[in-house]
Amino acid sequence: MFGVPWLSFWVFPLFAGVVWLAMLLALLLDWVCKGEPHYPSFNEHQTIAYISDVGAQGLKPLFIAMSAVVVVILDLSFIFERYLRHTGRLQHNTSRFQKILSVLSILASIAGAAGLILLTIFDTLRHPHLHDAFLVLFIAGYIVSAVFICWEYQRLGIHYRQHHILRVSFWMKLAFIIVELALAIGFGVTGNRGEYNAAAVIEWVIALVFTFYVVSFAVDFIPALRTRQEDTRKGAPDMVETGTAYNPAASAPGGERYYAPAAPSNGYTNGNNGYANGSANGVGYKPPEPVQPSRNF
């Protein structure tokens, strides 16, 4: 990718994870450096800011932009993963059911992405009820997406037991489901009880755990890097087998190499048949006279 051998699809989820973590740090440090102010969106007896409380203030444009970048890149990573399995760069799906699980995970992630983007636009200060609804959509969408991914990887692991990375990725995604589900329940319970400070802390932890979930998809793309290198090494033999010959003396515009089709042959080559006007395709070709055996042996 981009002419760099080690650069591949794993960069996308890693970049998304870095952007998400940078956004969280920017929001948290903005609130702390301003002296932990009490925002108008705070509930009664609340002293710790929710992510949405900070995002509804001066950093709202950053909150919207960086959240959108993260979920768009993450969802593209899901689509890339489906493409790489289809083309054989990752382990092929062995059944239609596995492909259905993959598609369902993509659809659920799109719903989760829409929830995050919308909750940043409809902030908790001006649209509290819509904000809460989109927050539920965001969390539920990505948890459901992770469930489908785990299910798919579990089925793949049965058929590809030699690929340990599938097992590692499966357990990483399963850990995310269990931890995020437990935290989401705790977030809802503490919020309903009016324990807003505890709920705010849990929300920050949920967002932090989501960072590791995003980055975990970089692991899934590691086999694609290896298969690309193998395809590169097999390129030259494949060209010979398909009748493509490399011309070292010629180059395409910009200095790039190109491969020209090998000349067809019917058993004779030009210049080797004893006739200056001989043709490889038999046109104008005069068969050579039989050579008399030597009597010296």
Number of folded domains that form the chain: 1
Q: What is the pLDDT of residue 237?
A: 41
Confidence of residue 92 (pLDDT cuts 50, 70, 90): confident
Interval 222-253: pLDDT, tens: 877 765 545 444 443 443 334 444 444 444 44
Confidence of residue 292 (pLDDT cuts 50, 70, 90): low
For residue 10, what is the DSSP state? T
- With 0-12 CB in 10 A as exposed, 13-18 as middle and 19+ as buried, what is 130? middle
What six digits make up the tokens of 155?
């089925």
Strand-pair partners of 244:
261
- Is it the case that residue 66 has pLDDT exceeding 90? yes
Weakest-pLDDT range from 16-30, 131-145, 149-163, 243-257: 243-257
Domain membership of residue 243 (yes or no) is no
Domain membership of residue 59 (yes or no) is yes
Confidence of residue 1 (pLDDT cuts 50, 70, 90): low
Domain membership of residue 275 (yes or no) is no
Domain range holding 171? 11-233
Domain membership of residue 75 (yes or no) is yes
Confidence of residue 276 (pLDDT cuts 50, 70, 90): very low
Domain membership of residue 24 (yes or no) is yes
Q: What's the mean pLDDT in 21-45?
A: 92
Q: What is the pLDDT of residue 182?
A: 95
Domain membership of residue 6 (yes or no) is no
Q: Which of 246, 268, 270 is nearest to 256 (CA)?
A: 246
Buried-state track 180-202, b at ≥16 Cβ within 10 A, e below 16? beebbebbeebbeeebbebbbbb
Give the whole-number percent of the chain exceeding pLDDT 70: 73
3-state secondary structure 227-289: HHHHHHHCHHHHHHHCCEEECCCCCCHHHCCCEEECCCCCCCCCCCCCCCCCCCCCCCCCCCC
Q: What's the mean pLDDT in 43-59?
A: 91
